Structure 1
């Protein structure tokens, strides 16, 4: 069990939560939650008009709600906002979303009772994931619809996936021995104002994308050997004089992967002057992508433990301040960065596959197959890679530069962060397919260089590919093999 301190949360811990490790808030966080809840009690008892505690919402913020209707206010808030559409978010994303909401509440500036924390924790402990439609949030005021579906499940509305069985939420809660949650003042707003859905989806894209990036480095190195390409472009002196950190790191990794290759040693004095850009500019392109992923990672690490609801409570002085921390523009930019980075990882990978299947460029059999004509070899897998690459280019158009006014103009600028994040996940999966096809092509190309051997690290990469896709002797059904190697990429099998 991970003991979570939202004031010091780091990306490594968030990655463990994403991977399914259980976690719960530490005692200091629970003490902060209790202090904030007590402050809300004092504010309500004092009779002051406070947004989200005893007023309407959005354009109705000026409407004072009588004390005997505060429970109706919070319940109606959740029901009215539970209006998402589309496919359900994946279980592991919902799980991370709940964990991130606990982290935000655990900072002690939201004003929820311990009962709310216990209800969310019970979902995690029982592997009970609310069914949350993916569409319906514009990323301000927070991820209202997705988070409302999460809270509605605690109230007995909607549906819950209980360890793989889909049940009406009320029935699922009954199985867990829990009563539907009744919300107190401010609790509904604290739960649905926040960026946790956008952040969870963006983190999913980041963590998948980092695995795709690692596989892209491995594929690129294996392709260099398949091409009998030069390692001179990876000389550390070239990259030191430019100074870009990602570029320096990628060149180092490529050198390490190719170190000891018999194939490389065999052609030091060949007549080839320069390799295509997709081979010799790997440090520059992949390095820029690495730097972009790093920037996105830093933004999302901060957001994982951030207070992003509204209004924000300061229990020491019983002050409640309305602001805009629910605006998910940082996540929108981070998700679009992930999209751009992974779009380029896939784009340069597809170009290397294209070179390998072209006999004029690779000096290998056309489409990496013997008896060409009867056999098409990797002709059409390269077309699949091209299709995925083109799809990614369309998806990579930034969502973060878009906005549309909502709530009768009160919420007149929004972030589109959840849309950016969902696109980033799709781009990551597409890029995994593109890299998988390159890995198959590069493994085939290296086979043609026998009896010369590749390096020890690349021999392991070659073996992983061959565990899902044997050497091609003649044409066969491709789809399952490509999907199998793509699954290796998504599982992180090629992590550096």
Structure 2
């Protein structure tokens, strides 16, 4: 359990902090100024109601029912029914860290002061995060035009319905509230819409995906450098002046990082039989990986806007004493960035697949076919290419943009969508597949190094190779490859970078 407490202001939540709240159970605290904005928006809600102004989600229905009146004596019942009727998600269920990320992002969105929910709603999100109450939430159902199909699970837990985890133990929500010393909330005007109408799920998945992608790239880079040593490859593509002349930031950073890892490697010296140039999958690694790094930087910029801005409709404007219908629930600005990164990761998938095929080919390595230690009796990596092929095919499918795939819904009043959660989930699926593919690449890389009688390795690859060989030994005879793949995958996922 983390001792860290993150101050939420509605203005400066970072992707890194989302990860700390999700995975390290960092606590949260609401700033005084942010809570004052929440109170001002709530006050405006009641003032507009007194003036007889039609307020979407307060005294009117939502969606196609926006023309239906909701009367004051029905606020609690209506808002509870809104939560129940919008609880339409399907499995699989979100993990506890994922739901914590969702709650942190939605809580920070409340603090922008444009929602109008009651302060007790805001306080309950804070308490859920700090007391370890995590609603059971489905992962699918949102079309990414506010995640109304899934976020309602948080509201149901707040009113004592549905299921939740308390200190990671699953139980009825009412029981979880009791254990935390809380009572089921009474719902007021606009509370149901405020809970449901946000892109917090999609944004949470994207924030976690960004961090997963960045860590993966660092781990993959070590595997690539070891594979280059297994190939007896060429260092020219990492030349600082060459990459500076090109001008792309990610490419230069990637090349520099690889060169540091390979400092002291035998590749720095001439070697008999070394090719003049490597296949493009090796030669262009820094450029391809660098392009993903550049895309990630753009995604981070767009996503951190989402984390610290309102996505409410209507948008309460207390300083102007009014509310206004808004398009602020449209997340396409960062969804397109997610899809761009996914396409980039798809290119990395192709590159890694080709690297695996080249390192098993004696025409490039001058080693035995499929890196067998004994041709004619040990098959070695002769069939593992099939797994690589199917994982790459999956990645091509997941990299396909999904923001264009939607129906016209709610009586054609809701006729655009972004599929934000699906786009982010697909990105994360690609990353997980890439870990498996990179695991297979590592198996090949270490085997090739061994077949070269373990020449002098780089400053960053020697320790990496040694740690790996404590988990998966040299392939001296055929054995269960699935077990080796999984052991390598677990090693990579746990390797500190």
- Structure 1 residue 93: Cα displacement: 0.7
Correspondence for 1:274 among 271, 277, 286? 277
TM-score w.r.t. structure 2 length?
0.95
User: Unpaired runs of 5+ in structure 2?
Assistant: none
Counterpart in the other structure of 1:361: 364
Counterpart in the other structure of 1:144: 148
> Which whole-Å CA distance do the structure 1 matches of 2:346 and 2:40 have between them?
46
* Residues 219 and 435, structure 1, Cα contact 8 Å, conserved in 2: yes
* Residues 264 and 456, structure 2, Cα contact 8 Å, conserved in 1: no
Correspondence for 2:69 among 49, 64, 67? 64
* Residues 115 and 315, structure 2, Cα contact 8 Å, conserved in 1: yes
Residues 443-458 of structure 1: pairs in structure 2 closer than 5 A = 443-458=446-461
> Which whole-Å CA distance do the structure 2 matches of 1:471 and 1:271 have between them?
24
- Structure 1 residue 213: Cα displacement: 1.4
Counterpart in the other structure of 2:309: 306
Counterpart in the other structure of 1:54: 59
* Residues 373 and 451, structure 2, Cα contact 8 Å, conserved in 1: no
Q: Give the 3-state SS of the residue equivalent to 2:70 in structure 1.
A: coil
Counterpart in the other structure of 2:323: 320
After superposition, give the CA deviation of every residue in 1:190-214 in whole Å (9 maximum; x if it has no partner): 1111110001111222211112111
- Structure 1 residue 483: Cα displacement: 2.1
Report the RMSD for the aligned CA atoms in angstroms. Answer: 1.8
Number of residue pairs the alignment of both structures matches: 492
> Which whole-Å CA distance do the structure 2 matches of 1:289 and 1:126 have between them?
38
Deviates more, 1:239-248 or 1:92-101: 239-248
Q: Give the 3-state SS of the residue equivalent to 1:160 in structure 2.
A: strand
Counterpart in the other structure of 2:261: 257
* Residues 243 and 255, structure 2, Cα contact 8 Å, conserved in 1: yes
Correspondence for 2:84 among 79, 83, 92? 79
Counterpart in the other structure of 1:25: 30
Correspondence for 2:102 among 85, 90, 97? 97
- Structure 1 residue 343: Cα displacement: 1.9
Q: Give the 3-state SS of the residue equivalent to 2:151 in structure 1.
A: helix
1:125 maps to 2:138: no
1:230 maps to 2:234: yes
- Structure 1 residue 494: Cα displacement: 5.6
> Which whole-Å CA distance do the structure 2 matches of 1:403 and 1:454 have between them?
51
> Which whole-Å CA distance do the structure 1 matches of 2:168 and 2:487 have between them?
24
- Structure 1 residue 448: Cα displacement: 2.2
> Which whole-Å CA distance do the structure 2 matches of 1:24 and 1:481 have between them?
45
User: Unpaired runs of 5+ in structure 1?
Assistant: none
1:169 maps to 2:173: yes
- Structure 1 residue 56: Cα displacement: 0.9
* Residues 143 and 420, structure 2, Cα contact 8 Å, conserved in 1: yes
> Which whole-Å CA distance do the structure 1 matches of 2:321 and 2:491 have between them?
52
TM-score w.r.t. structure 1 length?
0.95
Counterpart in the other structure of 1:395: 398
- Structure 1 residue 34: Cα displacement: 1.8
Q: Give the 3-state SS of the residue equivalent to 1:179 in structure 2.
A: coil
> Which whole-Å CA distance do the structure 2 matches of 1:451 and 1:119 have between them?
58
> Which whole-Å CA distance do the structure 1 matches of 2:221 and 2:53 have between them?
59
Compared CA separation, residues 460 and 271, structure 1 to 2 (3 A): closer
Q: Give the 3-state SS of the residue equivalent to 1:325 in structure 2.
A: coil
- Structure 1 residue 426: Cα displacement: 0.8
> Which whole-Å CA distance do the structure 1 matches of 2:51 and 2:149 have between them?
32
Counterpart in the other structure of 2:198: 194
